[in-house]
Structure 1
């Protein structure tokens, strides 16, 4: 009898412990976002304290502290939203784990920002506002503060919704809205704004078309051949050479401008040299890697894994070098205005400001980046290493083409457009194969539910992302205008 009572007590204790364990797991799951929020707030507070201490005793200490806090907040949001475009395809293709992607991106983004980030930045964000309209110190600082905070808030909202948006367009909209609030509609350079608006269409279309064309090439020359391994030995080194050439030119053009000035012609020559060297190195490497592989598609995926990881790392380095100014550009402009007492069309970025941008992007990626990485990599369309490779190569190639044509484009729109391009091409190709297989059979009309099930691109994400792209500039402009009047009343 005593043994039965003891067994019952142990079973009861086990049930109670299981309940406590479940409660503990649920508590940790709920509190995880709060940890990220807390760390982010500490980073913002430290940035504000450092900036305030550097101007201690000055009547403008609070303005400098607020500017540093807004810049740190913007950098966190860029890390949470923008970096997903570089790492999402590699994670979705399972070439990288989430932890590996975050580690590589954090290191490469910081290295790109600190080693090759631009040392000067345009204070009026690509010339969209007439400098004469914001020539007084108070008006200029108020406009930059409003632009920075509105852009950060919008990117934060977009991340929460699950939409990758352009941080460049967010800053542009913020500067435009603050300029209109400060000096009226005539202060804005509307032809420049028209070119930026055109990039909403140009960027994703270019990225999508190039990614789809690359996937079509791989399917025709490698996947749908009788001897897949022999075809891969011939074509994968060529594709690696193309990737190396595109990234060589891309990094020379966008990532090394702080070290040396490089024009388009020289960048293309560097790209060709790097591409030929990469092709020569890849030929024996792919031959050794493919020895003993079975003649099926699963074997081909392994050959694209390492090139995909390298492309993700290079994209992150170039993003850190090129886009960190979006986070800290307005902050650098405010620092210059407070120290020099006036407005300048271009200003140098102080080292401490660049550090805030670099570390903020890394913290934002680590704390909040996985949500958008999963969405871009796995929730728009199904990616494997070959498809993800097409997205990565199209991102670099599209930037080169756009720079050559002088078109203002968004790296976010290009990368996400590449994912959509791959998905829509897969839909078209699958339907075409079905039609060819059934061309001698009577046509069978599918039910609407079955037609939706066979779609390879999630339409809900497509509509959400496109809507977010379209309203980014108007939303940040409106928000910035409201914030300008609020900040003007509070700080000046």
Structure 2
């Protein structure tokens, strides 16, 4: 079946979301390595982009969960999916602008749920699956990652780091663990866009219900995520690398390794959890595990508040957008124009106080401080 213009628009919008997901979540993989000086900012995002691309090809379990598990694909159309995507993109841009590492995944789920609920009815939303596959992992994953990182950090400093200069040896470990997080991020997050595009094709009758993502969907989603990752979300990288705690090499290694393990296991089980939640929990846990690294709980609290608002905020925008888009071509055009206008406005505001790769200056080591452990102010 030849796809309609609306389906094409929705697919392009899904890839735009995937792009924003990439630069929004770059910090998850590389913030700690940049903060400790293990990797230069541009090198870090290049490595992350390549491994996000590779990771996208490793599994489709999460994509299947989204395309056939959260909403009833027989009761929605491409216009509703379009509205949900607009809600997710706007939330991603808002939280990127203020530098808060909220969940791109939950923005997507919220936008899709809100649009489906208002336009097709509450019975079109599989609330049981949402609790099982989204809400429970959202609550448990940062706690699990934090506990694992806390124990790992304590053990590393207790048994492996005998004196401060020894932390230099962990830079290679940080590069490896950061690369593993990037691979895991690609495995989990790229699939969410694959699932949304597949859901759109199913709702339009181009694919049978329960179908796996076609190859072109996998390739396009992987490339969009990798491109967004390479451009780097420096505002959120600044928050995770500097705002939560002061990070040293061994600490960053423990946080990244713990986060990667949690993400990879969840991807294998088909849980579309938030890599932002996991990596943030790992960083906080590593701060608790190292006594000399005070955790900035006020910033952590701001992040948790953003997490709590992500699903309902994106759902409200998605509901309004989906309802308008479902009225016809004029509604779809109106939603698209409004989305572009909001995105452009946020970008213009961000240029007044830009945060770039040059904002990350790691001091050179001195005899009194042989291992820099924090970003320059």
TM range (shorter): 0.7 to 0.9
CA gap 1:407/1:323 in 2 versus in 1, 3 angstroms = closer
Residues 201-225 of structure 1 show CA distances to partners (whole Å, capped at 9, x for unaligned) of: 21111111111101111222233xx
Q: What's the offset of the Cα at 1:372?
A: 1.8
Contact 1:180 1:481 in 2 (8 A): yes
Residue correspondence of structure 1 range 201-240 to structure 2 within 5 A:
201-223=139-161, 228=162
Instruction: Report what 2:69 is aligned to.
Output: 127
CA distance in 2, matches of 1:92, 1:329: 33
Of 196, 201, 204 in structure 2, the residue corresponding to residue 330 of structure 1 is: 196
The 3-state SS of whatever aligns with 1:489 is coil
Matching of residues 138-153 of structure 1 within 5 Å? 139-153=76-90
Deviations 1:292-337 (A, max 9, x none): xxxx311x21211112101211221232133212123212332344
Inter-partner Cα distance in structure 1 for 2:260 and 2:48: 16
Classify the secondary structure of the residue corresponding to 2:102.
coil
Answer yes or no: is 1:92 the counterpart of 2:64: no
Q: CA deviation at 1:382?
A: 0.9
- What's the Cα RMSD here? 2.8
Check whether the contact 2:26–2:232 (CA below 8 A) recurs between aligned residues: no
Q: Which residue pairs with 1:266 in the alignment? A: none
Q: Paired residue for 1:163, among 93, 100, 112?
A: 100
| Equivalence for 2:210 | 345
Give the drift of 1:368. Answer: 4.2
Q: Name the SS for the 2:326 alignment partner.
A: helix
Gap runs ≥5 in structure 2: 333-377
Flag the 1:336–1:130 CA change in 2: closer, same or farther, 3 A. Answer: closer
Give yes or no for the alignment of 1:462 onto 2:327: no
Aligned to 1:311: 177
1:297 aligns with 2:164: yes
Map residues 17-28 of structure 1 onto 2, 5 A cutoff.
none
Partner of 1:484: 322
User: What's the counterpart of residue 396 of structure 1?
Assistant: 260
How far does the alpha carbon of each residue in 1:98-147 deviate from its partner, in whole angstroms, 9 at most, with x for none? 0110111111112222x435399337556232445x1xxxx322222122
* Aligned equivalent of 1:178: 115
The 2-side partners of 1:331 and 1:106 are apart by 21
Q: Check if 1:108 corresponds to 2:51.
A: yes
Structure 1 residue 85 displacement after superposition: 0.4
**2:236 corresponds to:** 372
Q: 2:186 aligns with which of 320, 324, 345?
A: 320
1:411 maps onto 2:275 in alignment: yes
Give 3-state SS (helix, strand or coil) of 2:327's partner: helix
Residue by residue, what CA displacement relative to the aligned partner does 1:161-219 show, whole Å, maximum 9, x if unpaired?
A: 21222222222212211221123223323333333223332111111111110111122
Q: Does 1:199 align with 2:137?
A: yes
Contact 2:38–2:174 (8 Å) recurs in 1: yes
Contact kept? 1:78, 1:327, Cα under 8 Å: no
Offset from partner CA, 1:208-248 (integer Å, 9 cap, x none)? 1111101111222233xxxx3xxxxxxxxxxxxxxxxxxxx
Q: Is the 8 A contact 1:180 1:187 kept in 2?
A: yes
Cα pair 2:105 2:272 within 8 Å, conserved: no
User: Which TM-score applies when normalising by structure 2?
Assistant: 0.78
Inter-partner Cα distance in structure 1 for 2:248 and 2:154: 14
Distance in 1, Cα, partners of 2:20 & 2:208: 27
| CA separation of 1:102 and 1:464: change in aligned 2, threshold 3 A | same
8 Å CA contact retained: 2:68, 2:210:
no
2:7 is the alignment partner of 1:64 = yes
Q: Give the aligned partner of residue 35 of structure 1.
A: none
Greater fraction of residues in helix? 1
Aligned mates of 1:333, 1:473 — CA distance in 2: 20
Task: Decide which structure has the larger Cα Rg and report it.
Answer: 1
Q: Distance in 1 between matches of 2:142 and 2:152?
A: 15
Alignment of 1:377-456 (within 5 A): 377-399=241-263, 409-426=273-290, 429-430=291-292, 456=294
CA shift in 2, pair 1:345/1:146, >3 Å? farther
Does 1:355 pair with 2:219?
yes
Q: Is the 8 A contact 2:23 2:231 kept in 1?
A: yes
Cα 1:460–1:402, aligned 2, differ >3 Å: closer, same or farther?
A: same
Per-residue deviation at 1:343? 5.8
